[in-house]
A and B are shown apart, each in its own frame.
Chain A
Amino acid sequence: MSTSSRAGEAAPTIELIGVSKTFPTASGERVRALENVSLAINSGEFVTAVGASGCGKTTLLRLIAGLERSTTGTINVNGARQLGPSEQLGIVFQDPTLLPWRTVLENVMLPVQVLRLETRAYRGRAMALLETVGLEDFRDKYPHELSGGMRQRVAIARALVHDPATLLMDEPFGALDALTRDQLNLDLLQLWSATRKTVLLITHSITESVFLADRVVVMSPRPGRVVEEIAVDLPRPRHLELINSEAFGKYVRRIRQRLGGAPGLARSRA
């Protein structure tokens, strides 16, 4: 990782400079999804991006992942210009997108296979990851035998198996019930503190964004812009009781204020 670092000061792991993205619509108009977004995420940092639906959060993540090309601006990943998908990024999508004909372990091993890495060497790593997400006893089960939360755990293990430096997560827990979501947030923090990956997590839950992050990127919709970046100065390791603390509430209120009357925003989530 240090190859691209300049003397002393390391370059940000992810860097966006003046990035805009417009999509053509069916009616021929052009929709601006993102406008002039600049953002830097440093190595080992946990950053969340929060905003209403339609504020371009997902587009932001897809641009960084190299799944879309930006209309203007520059994106650098690990100091190099982002020109397409990279094995240096692990991605967790909104849906687990597991392959139903593969067992849990085979699903986790998919990136190893596709990237033609050495199966034997990474098998142990896959098993260790499954253990970390609490699914070591389910490795020979098929996705349809798992609950929604378990499937998303498998997806997280899969995103990490080839040891990417950065983890991109697109509303990974959005489809889960509140209790499962809390548990997965805790597990994610534990995983993060153990591996110290750089994480960018997209969410529409203000609570989640504060609970997880070192820094929250607040986004406004149509066109998507970065309204404010808020450093979250709360002690780690974090526990669920933190959510009820006054300091936590302050961050939540501030973000909600900045999001203002943004339409379509999930107003509250305990």
Chain B
Amino acid sequence: MSIDGQAAAGELVAARRPFATRFWVRLADRLTSPVFALLLILYWEFHVRFFQVEALLLPPPSRIALSFWNGIADGLFLKHLAITVFRALSGFAIATVLGVALGALIAQFRFVERTVYPWVVALQTVPKIAIAPLILVWCGYGSLSKIVTATLVAFFPVLVNTIIGLRGCEQGKLDLMRSLKAGRWLTFRMVALPNALPFIFAGLSVAAVFSILGALVGEFVGSKDGIGFLILDANYQLNIPRVFALLILLGAYGIGCHLLLHLAHRKLVFWNEPKDVTSA
């Protein structure tokens, strides 16, 4: 009741304000975060120039921006980004298919759970970065080793979320299907799977970020192209502005992935608001 009261009072105050004031209040709300970032960047620029910080340690934002622009303009960044994104998305796609399929089998059949699940968990406890050199030996210097690393890293969040989602189906819904003499497959298809979609999407959100991570790790271990290669290369050449520019590029890609999945979630799982997932 008190919350309602407060909300009502808030509306009343808002309504009493003239339109112009409300406009500025709303604009200020929207702008605080970008303005904060802008101030930080300005201070960074000022600090580096004024105290003459070595560009090797911390380049000024202006030089990072210039490097970013040059990388985009001569097509180098986008060429390598396309390669890395291809690897990450391939891994993501494979991880999605395998994760949902195996998750469904584990959730549906106790036999599969007993035989397979302990080993899957054991695999998960091994840091994938530690296996990456081995995968390079097995799968070669080309794209395959990167796709495999990306798949391995992205697979687990999809699997776990699929299992949790399928297990989390309310007994009432299962009783309803049972009272109608529905078989296992029909109950899975009509109730359990759609019911698990919010969880599966949360898993996909994490997997999308993890897959780019996996592709990068693969490229760090050994590659002649891709963003991971470019970062290492720029690092060797002590081209620190370019390293920063590439990090910004990766950040932009990550945000893009997140937004796309958020949108897909809202369209496909319209009955359930997406929850923000911080980690796997």
Q: Do A and B come from one complex?
A: yes
Contact B272 A114, beta carbon cutoff 8 Å = no
Indicate the member of A66, A101, A111, A143 with the most B CB atoms within 10 Å.
Answer: A101
For the complex, is A248 an interface residue (Cβ under 8 Å from B)? no
Contact A89 B179, beta carbon cutoff 8 Å = yes
Contacts of A86 in B (CB 8 A): 181
Contact B271 A97, beta carbon cutoff 8 Å = no
A139-159: CB near B (< 8 Å → 1, else 0) gives: 000111000000000000000
Contact B172 A66, beta carbon cutoff 8 Å = no
Closest CB of chain B to A120's CB: distance in Å?
19
When chains A and B are docked, how far (Å) is the Cα of A89 from the Cα of B186?
20
Knowing A99-B191, A100-B272, A114-B190 are in contact, say whether A67-B172 is a contact too (CB < 8 A): no
For the complex, is A93 an interface residue (Cβ under 8 Å from B)? yes
Known pairs A85-B181, A97-B172, A144-B271 / 14 extra A-B pairs, C-beta < 8 Å:
A84-B181, A86-B181, A89-B179, A91-B179, A95-B170, A95-B172, A99-B191, A101-B194, A110-B176, A110-B180, A110-B190, A111-B180, A113-B190, A115-B181
Contact A115 B180, beta carbon cutoff 8 Å = yes
When chains A and B are docked, how far (Å) is the Cα of A91 from the Cα of B172?
11
Q: Which of B188-215 contact A (CB under 8 A)?
A: 190-191, 194-195, 197
Q: Which of B172-190 contact A (CB under 8 A)?
A: 172-173, 175-182, 186, 190
A104-137: CB near B (< 8 Å → 1, else 0) gives: 0000001101110000000000000000000000
Contacts of A89 in B (CB 8 A): 179
Contacts of A115 in B (CB 8 A): 180-181
For the complex, is A65 an interface residue (Cβ under 8 Å from B)? yes
Taking CB as reference atom, which chain B residue is nearest A89?
B179
Contact A142 B181, beta carbon cutoff 8 Å = no
Total B residues in contact with A, Cβ cutoff 8 Å: 21
When chains A and B are docked, how far (Å) is the Cα of A84 from the Cα of B176?
13
Contact B176 A93, beta carbon cutoff 8 Å = yes
- Determine the interface band of chain A, counting residues with CB < 8 A from chain B: 20 to 34
Query: Out of B176, B190, B272, which one reaches A91, CB within 8 Å?
Result: B176
For the complex, is A87 an interface residue (Cβ under 8 Å from B)? yes
When chains A and B are docked, how far (Å) is the Cα of A120 from the Cα of B169?
30
Contacts of A85 in B (CB 8 A): 178-181
Closest CB of chain B to A42's CB: distance in Å?
22
When chains A and B are docked, how far (Å) is the Cα of A24 from the Cα of B101?
34
B interface, over-half SS: helix
When chains A and B are docked, how far (Å) is the Cα of A91 from the Cα of B181?
13
Taking CB as reference atom, which chain A residue is nearest B182?
A114
Taking CB as reference atom, which chain A residue is nearest B173?
A97
Taking CB as reference atom, which chain A residue is nearest B191?
A99
Taking CB as reference atom, which chain B residue is nearest A65?
B179
Knowing A99-B191, A142-B271 are in contact, say whether A93-B175 is a contact too (CB < 8 A): yes
Contacts of A97 in B (CB 8 A): 170, 172-173, 175-176
Contacts of B271 in A (CB 8 A): 100-101, 142-144
Contacts of B178 in A (CB 8 A): 67, 85
A72-93: CB near B (< 8 Å → 1, else 0) gives: 0000000000001111010101
When chains A and B are docked, how far (Å) is the Cα of A97 from the Cα of B194?
14
The 4 residue pairs across chains A and B that have the minimum distance between CB atoms? A100-B271, A97-B172, A114-B180, A85-B179
When chains A and B are docked, how far (Å) is the Cα of A198 from the Cα of B22?
61
When chains A and B are docked, how far (Å) is the Cα of A87 from the Cα of B191?
19
Contacts of B182 in A (CB 8 A): 114
Contacts of B180 in A (CB 8 A): 85, 87, 110-111, 114-115
When chains A and B are docked, how far (Å) is the Cα of A264 from the Cα of B179?
29
Indicate the member of A87, A89, A111 with the most B CB atoms within 10 Å.
Answer: A111
Q: Which of B10-34 contact A (CB under 8 A)?
A: none
28 A-B residue pairs with Cβ-Cβ distance under 8 Å, sorted by A, are: A66-B179, A67-B175, A67-B178, A85-B178, A86-B181, A87-B181, A89-B179, A91-B179, A93-B175, A93-B176, A95-B170, A97-B170, A97-B175, A99-B190, A99-B191, A99-B195, A100-B271, A100-B272, A101-B194, A101-B270, A101-B271, A111-B180, A114-B177, A114-B180, A114-B181, A115-B180, A115-B181, A142-B271
